Structure 1
Amino acid sequence: MKLFMAALTAAALLSPHATDPGHQPLPGKDGWANGTTGGSAAATGHVTTVTTRDQLAAAVSGDTPKIVYVQGVIDANTDSSGRPLSCQDYATGGYTLAGYLKAYDPATWGRGKVPSGPLESARAASESRQAARVQIRVGANTTIVGVGTTARLLGANLVVKSDNVIIRNLTLANAFDCFPQWDPTDGSTGNWNSLFDNVSLQGATHVWVDHNTFTDAPYPDSQEPTYFGRPFQQHDGQLDLTDATDLVTVEQNVFTQHDKTMLVGNSDSKTSDAGHLRITVHHNVFDGVQERAPRVRFGEVHVYDNLYRSGAGFDYSLGVGKQSQIYAQNNNFQFSGVTAADALHNWGGTGIHATGSVVNGKDVDVVAAFNAANPATPLATTVNWTPTLYIGLQPASALPAQLPGSAGAGHLG
C-alpha cells in the first residue's frame, strides 16, 4: 500500500495540468531573483522522477527546460551500480590520513608554507576522485524539487554555473570532503579547508532556493577530531554564492548544524564581483549555525524576516565584508550565552542598514550594540541602496511562532 501511495503521489506531481511545486515560477517581486522560471515550461518529455545519483546527474544536465523530481534518499557517494563508496575507495596515490598528518606536522613542516610534495598531490587527486561523484552540475532552465517530505540528497554538492534554476523542497545533508587540506598559513593558527558545499552558485544568475533544509547531520564537524590544534573540518559551505553570482532569492529554508553557512563573494581581491551578488535572504531559519548567515562581500543583499538561534560554537550571524551593502530588516535573534553585539561582525566593511531587529524578545539596535562593543571597528548605519523587490515585511516578533512550522523541506504549501 505504501509503495502504491508513493507511486500515486509521484504520478500526481508529474501531471502537466496539476498545480505543483515543479511547475511554479518564482512569484513576482519576490526578491532579486524576480523573473526566475526554472523548468516550469518543460515539455512532458523533460519531466522526470529520479531515485539514484546517476539518474539525477543525467536529468539536470543540459539547458533544455526540465523539471526533475527527487524521490526518496539519493546518496552521491555511490557508484553507478548503487554501491556505497567510502573514503578509502576514493584514496589514490598512496594517500593516508596518518601519512598526511606525519608529513605536514607543523613541528617538522613548519607554519610558513602550504603543503606540497607527493602526499599533498595524492590528497588533491583523491579529492578530485570524490568530486567526480559528489559534484553534480546543474544546467540552465532547471527546476529540482523533492517529492513529499522525505526527499534527501546525501553527500551531494549541486554546482550551478548557469541561468534560471529553481531548487525546492529538498533536505541537503552532509556534503563531506574525505580529504581536507591543511593550510598552516590560513589565519594565525592554520586551518583545515574542505571543498564541497551542499549548493554552490558560481557565476549563476536567476536562482530561487526555496523550502530546503541544509544540515551536516548525522556527522557535524563538532564530532570530528582535532589535528594540529584545529578542527578537522570536512564541510565547507551550505549555500555559497561566488564568482559574480547574481539575482538570487533564498527563502523559507532551514540552515542547521553547520559552521560556514552562507558565503556571498569569496575573496576581497575579486573586485570584479562589484555590481553583482544581488541577493535576497528572507524567512529562513538559521538554527545552531556558527557563522556566515550570510557573510557578504560587494553585494547588495536584502536580509529580512529571518530567525536566528545561536548554538554551540556560535560566532556571529551577519558578516559585513568589503564593499558589502547589507539591508537588514525585521530579523529575530534568539541568543544564549552571547549578546546583541554578536549579531554582526565587521570583516572589513563600512556599514550596514539594520532596523526592526528583536533580540531575545526586545527591540534592539544591533548596529549600536555592535559599535558600543567594538569601538575600534564601528559600522555606519546606512548603505547606498534601498530594496524594492519584496512583497511585504512582518514584525520580527512574529517569526518565532511562524517560521519553525513553515520553513524547510516538507513545508511547501
Structure 2
Amino acid sequence: MQITSLSQLKTEAASDGKKVLQLSTVLKGSGTDEVVVSSDKTIVGVGADAGLTGGGFFVKKASNVIIRNLKISFAQAPVDLIAAQKSDHLWFDHNELFNDTSHDKDFYDGLLDLTHATDFVTVSWNHLHDHAKGSLIGHSDSNAAEDTGHLRITYSHNWFDNVASRLPRVRFGTVHLYDNLFTDAKTSGIHCLMNAQCLVQNNVFVNVKLPVWTTEDSDLDGFAVATGNDFGGEEPVITQAGSFKAAPYSVTLEPASAVSALVEGGAGTGKI
C-alpha cells in the first residue's frame, strides 16, 4: 500500500491485519507526532529519501514489525524516533535516525528505545547520528520484575556517529553487539547495567570515551564479554565478566579491520 500522508500512515499503521506500507517521500509532522504501529506491519521506504520528520514510530504491544529504509528525524521529547514497549519479534534495518546537537540534551528523547519487556529484536545496518542520548534498553532500575528474562536484542552493522552516549545503555537485557562502528561519542559507548549481559564482538570505536563499561549511574553493575574489538586506544571498564559468551544463533563475524569500510558503505537508507 502506498502511503502519501501522515494521517494515512497513522491510520494504516495502527490498523488490524498484515500490511506492507510503502513511503516514497519524507512526511512532515509537528515535532511530537507519534505513529503507533500494531502487529504484522512492514513500513518501508522506497528509494533513499523517504520517511518521517517531526515525529516518530511507537511499536506498542505488537509482534512481527519491520521498519526499514526510512529517514526519521527531529521528533521532540517525549517522542522517540523509534520506540517499542511490550513488543516482540521486531526488525529495524537500514534506517537513518538523526536530530541535532545544537539543543539541550533533553530537547530530543531517544533515537531508538526498547523498553517494558520488549523481546527478540534485531537492529541492523542503521545510521544513527548527531544526537545526545542514542539507544536505551530498559527504562528504569526499578523494572526488574517486568524486564528480567526479556530484552534479548542484537545490534549488528550499525553506525553510531556523533551520538554522545547510550550506544546503547542496557538494563536487565541480554544484548549481542557485533560489527558495529562507533565514532565520536563524547560521553560513553556501550553501557551495560543492572545485571544485563552484553556480548561485544568485533566492533570498532573511534574517539569514544568508555567504549564498554559496566558500572556507575545505576544501582547494580552489569556484565560484559568483549572480544575482537578495536577500542581506538581507549580502555573498557568491565567490572564483571559475563556468562553470555556466544550468540544462540549462527553468525559470521567480520574482523574489526574490515568493519569501518563495510559499515560506512552499507548503513543507512538507499542501500537495500
Shorter-chain-normalised TM-score: which range? over 0.9
Shift of 1:275: 0.5
1:333 to 2:184 alignment: no
1:165 to 2:34 alignment: no
Match of 2:260 in 1: 400
* TM-score, scaled relative to structure 1: 0.62
Please say if residues 214 and 240 of structure 2, whose CA atoms lie closer than 8 Å, have aligned partners that are also in contact. Answer: no
Please say if residues 308 and 334 of structure 1, whose CA atoms lie closer than 8 Å, have aligned partners that are also in contact. Answer: yes
Aligned partner of residue 353 in structure 1, secondary structure: strand
Match of 1:139 in 2: 38
**Closer, same or farther in 2 for the Cα pair 1:355/1:385, shift >3 Å?**
closer
1:64 pairs with one of 17, 24, 28: 17
* CA-to-aligned-CA distance 1:149-199 (integer Å, 9 cap, x gap): 1102101121101111000000111112xxxxxxxxxxxxxxxxx311001
Please say if residues 214 and 239 of structure 2, whose CA atoms lie closer than 8 Å, have aligned partners that are also in contact. Answer: no
Match of 1:290 in 2: 164
1:238 to 2:117 alignment: no
Match of 1:344 in 2: 213
Q: Which has the higher helix share?
A: 1
Shift of 1:342: 4.4
Please say if residues 214 and 224 of structure 2, whose CA atoms lie closer than 8 Å, have aligned partners that are also in contact. Answer: no
Match of 2:48 in 1: 149
1:206 pairs with one of 71, 75, 89: 89
**Closer, same or farther in 2 for the Cα pair 1:325/1:153, shift >3 Å?**
same
**Closer, same or farther in 2 for the Cα pair 1:343/1:276, shift >3 Å?**
closer
Work out the number of aligned pairs and report it: 267
Please say if residues 225 and 244 of structure 2, whose CA atoms lie closer than 8 Å, have aligned partners that are also in contact. Answer: no
Query: Displaced runs of 4+ in structure 1, greater than 6 A?
Result: none
Shift of 1:385: 5.7
Shift of 1:370: 3.3
Structure 1: where are the runs of 5+ without partners?
Answer: 1-47, 78-129, 177-193, 225-230, 372-377
**Quick one: which amino acid aligns to residue 379 of structure 1?**
T
Shift of 1:410: 1.1
Please say if residues 211 and 407 of structure 1, whose CA atoms lie closer than 8 Å, have aligned partners that are also in contact. Answer: yes
Match of 2:152 in 1: 278
Match of 2:271 in 1: 411
* CA-to-aligned-CA distance 1:295-341 (integer Å, 9 cap, x gap): 10111100111001015xx1111011101100110000111xx65x4
Shift of 1:384: 4.3
Please say if residues 330 and 396 of structure 1, whose CA atoms lie closer than 8 Å, have aligned partners that are also in contact. Answer: yes
Shift of 1:286: 0.6
Aligned partner of residue 11 in structure 2, secondary structure: helix
Aligned partner of residue 56 in structure 1, secondary structure: helix
Shift of 1:350: 3.5
* TM-score, scaled relative to structure 2: 0.93
Matches within 5 A, 1:60-99: 60-77=13-30
1:248 to 2:130 alignment: no
Match of 1:182 in 2: none
**Quick one: which amino acid aligns to residue 388 of structure 1?**
P
1:370 to 2:230 alignment: no
**Quick one: which amino acid aligns to residue 198 of structure 1?**
L
**Quick one: which amino acid aligns to residue 150 of structure 1?**
D
Structure 2: where are the runs of 5+ without partners?
Answer: none
Percent sequence identity is: 36
**Quick one: which amino acid aligns to residue 346 of structure 1?**
T
**How far apart, CA to CA, are the structure 1 residues paired with 2:227 and 2:138?**
24
Match of 1:90 in 2: none
**Closer, same or farther in 2 for the Cα pair 1:350/1:152, shift >3 Å?**
closer
* CA-to-aligned-CA distance 1:199-225 (integer Å, 9 cap, x gap): 110111000000000000xxx2x323x
Shift of 1:346: 2.0
* CA-to-aligned-CA distance 1:381-406 (integer Å, 9 cap, x gap): 22246312243111011011111111
1:264 pairs with one of 122, 134, 137: 137
Please say if residues 212 and 253 of structure 1, whose CA atoms lie closer than 8 Å, have aligned partners that are also in contact. Answer: yes
**Quick one: which amino acid aligns to residue 152 of structure 1?**
G
